[in-house]
A and B are shown apart, each in its own frame.
Chain A
Amino acid sequence: MTDHDHDHHHHDHDHSELSDTELRVRALETVLTEKGYVDPAALDLLIQTYETKVGPRNGARVVARAWADPAYRARLLKDGTPAISELGYAGRQGEHIVTLENTPALHNMVVCTLCSCYPWPVLGLPPVWYKSAPYRSKAVKDPRGVLRDFGFELPEGTNIRVWDSTAEIRYLVLPLRPSGTDGWSEERLAELVTRDSMIGTGLPKQPHEVA
Chain B
Amino acid sequence: MEGAHDMGGVKWSGPVQPEPNEPMFHAEWERRAFAITLAMGMPGGWNIDMSRFAREDRPPEDYLSKSYYQIWLAGLERLMLERGLIAPDEIEAGKPLHPVKPVAKTLTPGDVARVLHRGGPTEREAKAPARFATGDRVRAKMIHPPTHTRLPRYVRGHVGIVERVLGCHVFPDSNATGAGENPQWLYTVTFDGGELWGEASEPGLKVSVDAWEPYLEPA
- Interface of A with B (CB < 8 Å)? 18, 21-32, 34-39, 41-47, 49-51, 55, 90-96, 98, 113-116, 124-125, 127-129, 131-144, 146, 149-150, 159-169, 196, 201
Question: B91 contacts A28, CB within 8 Å?
Answer: yes
Query: Closest CB-CB distance, B118 to chain A, in whole Å?
Result: 6
Proximity string of chain B (96-117) to chain A, C-beta cutoff 8 Å, 1 when within and 0 when not? 1000100100111101110111
Residues of A within 8 A of B151 (CB): 166
Is B91 in contact with A27, judged by CB distance below 8 angstroms? yes
Bound together, the chains give a CA A45 to CA B33 distance in angstroms of: 14
Q: Judging by beta carbons under 8 Å apart, are B13 and A137 in contact?
A: yes
Instruction: Give residues in B with beta carbon < 8 Å to A.
Output: 5-19, 22, 24-29, 31-36, 38-40, 43, 48, 52, 55-56, 64, 68, 70, 73, 76-77, 85-86, 90-96, 100, 103, 106-109, 111-113, 115-123, 150-152, 154, 164, 166, 169-170, 172, 186, 188, 190, 196-197, 201-212
Q: In chain A, what residue has the closest Cβ to B14?
A: A134
- Complex Cα distance A163/B120, Å? 21
Q: What residues on A are CB-neighbors of B172 within 8 Å?
A: 167
A128-B19, A164-B8 known; A49+B116 contact, CB < 8 A = yes
Pick the residue among B95, B113, B152 that contacts A164 (CB under 8 A): B152
Which residues on the A side are within 8 Å of B32 (C-beta)? 25-26, 29, 43, 47
In the complex, the answer to whether B22 meets A127 with C-beta atoms within 8 Å is yes
User: Contacts A31-B90, A128-B19: A116 and B12 contacting too (C-beta < 8 A)?
Assistant: no
